[in-house]
């Protein structure tokens, strides 16, 4: 008969933190949330360290170049989804590496021959109200004009009206020359009392926009995650099927770290993929692996040479792997076992392999629980999918703003490459759903609140760093009655809007 493991498969929601001594020096402003992203030898430092312990999930509905830029500017890192052509993924990586703080590549562009209807559709689809009008409708075409919401009246102007008839023509635009510094660009904006400055090269080709609204934002990102050349860091997801083609192109594009995207990472296919990286690039290319849920899975991938290991099967809000295949484990139980395995491996080998907790986060305090249970950093999908910077549409459903969110294991994603079972190249059944999440606004606004909660909770536990949290945190199981007691109860709540 099968091996029976009697441990109960538990989730984060079944645990709570017990307060420790909060010393006078333990204040939120003194807390650091830096965390290792890749493995390192005892006594040395990791080559990549996160400034906040967050990475965004390898998903079509979460991690594109816009999310990667926004999250890196706030100290985390995105793994750009791999369920797209190699060329498109590599171009997203290049876009992040080329990003200069304050200089925004235009993502909303049309030609003079487009119509007002096209403008309105583009604005609805992208959320951008500033549209670059170029000769070929691309982000780096020759700039012929610009359209903002002040250039047209949807209720009065004909939908078929040509863009060339209402755009602000190039002759009336204030522009900056490519090579200009951000300070110089902001000076032009303030001196000319404009909201947007197009930056063009000597041939009038559009290179960037600089926005007035971003001025303060650019001064307010002390946690930016940068490489030695002061470029933003970015990751990318790969699979175990076309890695021989995909990885070289991502490396050429400048990717900083790779991660194998799979619903079940305890697989010979993953070891082969890691071996390809080591044989061709040595340790210069970093690659994480997973997902696994126990000691055996961790040790297999660590011995295979993974730079970090992802923990979690079936715990994501859109994941139905446990339903469909009957495999997985409660995220808390999986994380606790793998953390012990990681620590034992470190003592034995002198190599510290960071672990990433992927899935199962519902409340913000679950993030602290995951870190206290041993995770070095967290991968999240639903959390980031709610923000303006995610690549999905914002819609009104049932009178509320929502954003689309679908799993990589859904038919919509058609990401059959992430299943390491060999055989034919199609999706036999779904392991993810197509859904909505409540729209939450800008990433930075929400992230600041979340990080504030984490730091406050760490103070209550008496910890100033994540490693210290792992040492001093006390965690206890809770009963179902205790969970009810922990929320509002035995009162009549006023009908006020509650934040998600």
Percentage with pLDDT > 90 across the chain: 76
pLDDT of residue 228: 87
pLDDT grade, residue 133 (50/70/90)? very high
| DSSP state, residue 274 | H
Q: Tokens standing for 107?
A: 């993502």
115: which DSSP letter?
B
Tokens 């697989």 belong to 267
In the predicted model, is pLDDT for residue 100 greater than 90?
Answer: no
Lowest average pLDDT, out of 45-59, 64-78, 342-356, 428-442, goes to 428-442
- Please report the pLDDT score of residue 98 as a whole number: 84
pLDDT at 289 over 50: yes
Among 154-158, 165-169, 226-230, 323-327, the range of highest mean pLDDT: 165-169
Q: What is the DSSP-derived secondary structure letter of residue 14? A: G
Going by pLDDT thresholds of 50, 70 and 90, the confidence category of residue 252 is very high
Q: Which of 38-42, 323-327, 419-423, 485-489 has the highest mean pLDDT?
A: 38-42
Grade residue 128 by pLDDT with cuts at 50, 70 and 90. confident
Look at residue 219 and tell me whether its pLDDT is greater than 80.
Answer: no
Supply angle C-alpha 292, 34, 54, rounded to 5: 50
- Residue 418 appears among annotated catalytic residues: yes
pLDDT of residue 158: 93
Bond before 55 cis per omega within 30 degrees: no
Q: Which of 54, 77, 82, 53 is nearest to 67 (CA)?
A: 77
Higher pLDDT, 384 or 128: 384
pTM for this structure? 0.80
pLDDT at 490: 78
Confidence of residue 427 (pLDDT cuts 50, 70, 90): low
> Where is average pLDDT lowest: 1-15, 160-174, 215-229, 394-408?
215-229
Give the total residue count for the chain: 500
Mean pLDDT of the chain: 91
> What is the SS3 assignment for 395?
strand
Q: Of the listed 259, 418, 459, 461, which one is catalytic? A: 418
Among candidates 327, 334, 345, 347, which has minimal Cα distance to 374? Answer: 334
Band (pLDDT 50/70/90 cuts) for residue 500 is very low
319 an active-site residue? yes
Q: Give the confidence band of 406 by pLDDT, cuts at 50, 70, 90.
A: confident
> Among residues 73, 207, 259, 319, which one is catalytic?
319
> 304 falls in which pLDDT band (50, 70, 90)?
very high
The tens digit of pLDDT for each residue in 433-472 reads: 678 999 999 999 999 999 999 999 999 999 999 999 999 9
3-state secondary structure 280-348: HHCCCCCEEEEEECCHHHHHHHHHHCCCCEEECCCCCCCECHHHHHCCCCCHHHHHHHHHHHHHHHHHH
**What share of the chain in percent tops pLDDT 70?**
91
Cα separation of 122 and 106, whole Å?
13
Tokens matching residue 229 = 């050349």
């Amino acid at each position: 008969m099968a091996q029976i493991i009697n441990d109960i498969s538990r989730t984060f929601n079944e645990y709570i933190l017990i307060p420790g001594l909060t010393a006078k020096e333990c204040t939120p402003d003194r807390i650091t949330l830096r965390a290792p992203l890749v493995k390192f030898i005892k006594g040395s430092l990791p080559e990549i360290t996160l400034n906040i312990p967050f990475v965004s999930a390898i998903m079509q509905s979460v991690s594109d170049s816009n999310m990667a830029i926004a999250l890196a500017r706030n100290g985390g890192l995105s793994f750009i989804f791999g369920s797209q052509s190699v060329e498109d993924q590599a171009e997203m990586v290049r876009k992040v590496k080329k990003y200069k703080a304050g200089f925004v590549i235009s993502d909303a562009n049309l030609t003079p021959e487009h119509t007002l209807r096209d403008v309105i559709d583009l604005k609805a689809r992208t959320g951008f109200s500033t549209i670059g009008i170029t000769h070929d409708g691309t982000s780096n075409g020759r700039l012929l004009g610009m359209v903002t919401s002040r250039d047209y009246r949807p209720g009065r102007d004909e939908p078929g009206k040509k863009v060339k008839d209402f755009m602000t023509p190039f002759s009336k635009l204030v522009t900056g020359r490519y090579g200009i510094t951000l300070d110089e660009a902001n000076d032009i904006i303030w001196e000319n009392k404009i909201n947007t400055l197009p930056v063009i090269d000597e041939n009038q080709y559009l290179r960037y926009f600089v926005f007035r609204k971003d001025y303060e934002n650019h001064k307010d990102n002390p946690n930016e995650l940068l490489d030695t050349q002061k470029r933003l860091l970015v990751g990318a997801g790969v699979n175990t099927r076309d890695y021989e083609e995909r990885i070289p192109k991502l490396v050429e594009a400048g990717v900083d770290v790779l991660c194998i995207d799979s619903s079940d990472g305890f697989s010979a296919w993953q070891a082969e993929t890691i071996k390809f990286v080591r044989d061709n690039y040595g340790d210069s290319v970093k690659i994480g692996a997973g997902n696994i849920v126990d000691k055996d899975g961790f040790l297999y991938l660590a011995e295979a040479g993974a730079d970090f290991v992802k923990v979690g099967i079936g715990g994501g809000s859109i994941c139905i792997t446990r339903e469909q295949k009957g495999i997985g484990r409660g995220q808390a139980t999986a994380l606790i076992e793998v953390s012990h395995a990681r620590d034992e491996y470190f003592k034995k080998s002198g190599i510290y392999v960071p672990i990433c907790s992927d899935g199962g986060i519902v409340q913000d305090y679950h993030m602290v629980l995951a870190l206290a249970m041993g995770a070095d950093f967290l991968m999240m999908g639903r959390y980031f999918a709610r923000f303006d910077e995610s690549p999905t549409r914002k819609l009104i459903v049932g009178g509320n703003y929502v954003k689309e969110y679908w799993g990589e294991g859904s038919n919509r994603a058609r990401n059959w490459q992430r299943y390491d079972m060999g055989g034919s190249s199609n999706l036999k059944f779904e392991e993810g759903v197509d859904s909505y999440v409540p729209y939450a606004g800008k990433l930075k606004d929400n992230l600041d609140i979340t990080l504030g909660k984490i730091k406050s909770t760490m103070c209550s536990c008496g910890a100033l760093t994540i490693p210290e949290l792992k040492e001093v945190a006390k965690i206890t199981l809770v009963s179902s009655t205790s969970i009810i007691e922990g929320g509002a109860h035995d009162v009549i709540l006023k009908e006020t809007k509650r934040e998600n």
